[in-house]
Amino acid sequence: MTDCAGPGTGARPVASDLPDLGVGVGWRPEIAGVVADLPNLRFCEVVAEGIHTHVPLSGPLATLRERGVTLVPHGVRLSLGGAEPVSPERVKHLADCAALLGAPLVSEHIAFVRAGDLEAGHLLPVPRTRAAVDALAANYVRTVEGLGGVPLALEPIAALFDWPDDEYDEADFLTAVLDRTGALLLLDVANVYANARNRGQDPVALLDRLPLERVAYVHVAGGREHEGLYHDTHTDAVPQEVLELVTALAERATPAGWLLERDGDYPPADVLRAELAAITTAVGAGTRAAGAR
Partner 1 sequence: MSDPAAESTAPQGSARGDDTAAARPGADPAARLAVAQAALVAALVAGGPLPDGFDAGRVDAARRALLRKRAGEVARAWPLLAGGLGTAFTPRFVQWAARRPPAGSFADGLAFAQQLRDKGELPPLAVEELAQRERPAPSVRRRIWPFKRR
Q: Residues in the site for partner 1, rule: CB under 8 A?
A: 55, 82-84, 112, 114-116, 118-122, 124, 126-127, 129-132, 134-135, 159-165, 226-227, 229, 231, 235, 264
Nearest approach, Cβ of 171 to partner 1 (angstroms)? Answer: 20
Nearest approach, Cβ of 55 to partner 1 (angstroms)? Answer: 8
- The answer to whether 23 and 256 have CB atoms below 8 angstroms apart is no
Distance CA 27, CA 47 (A): 8
Nearer to partner 1, 122 or 293 (CB): 122
Residues ≥6 apart with Cβ < 8 Å to 281: none
Nearer to partner 1, 201 or 235 (CB): 235
Nearer to partner 1, 116 or 148 (CB): 116
Nearest approach, Cβ of 277 to partner 1 (angstroms)? Answer: 27
Distance CA 223, CA 238 (A): 7
Other Cβ atoms within 10 Å of 291 Cβ, number: 8
Nearest approach, Cβ of 104 to partner 1 (angstroms)? Answer: 28
Burial-class residue 242 by CB neighbours within 10 Å (0-12, 13-18, 19+).
buried
Nearer to partner 1, 199 or 252 (CB): 199
Nearer to partner 1, 82 or 255 (CB): 82
Burial-class residue 246 by CB neighbours within 10 Å (0-12, 13-18, 19+).
buried
Distance CA 92, CA 95 (A): 5
Nearest approach, Cβ of 128 to partner 1 (angstroms)? Answer: 12
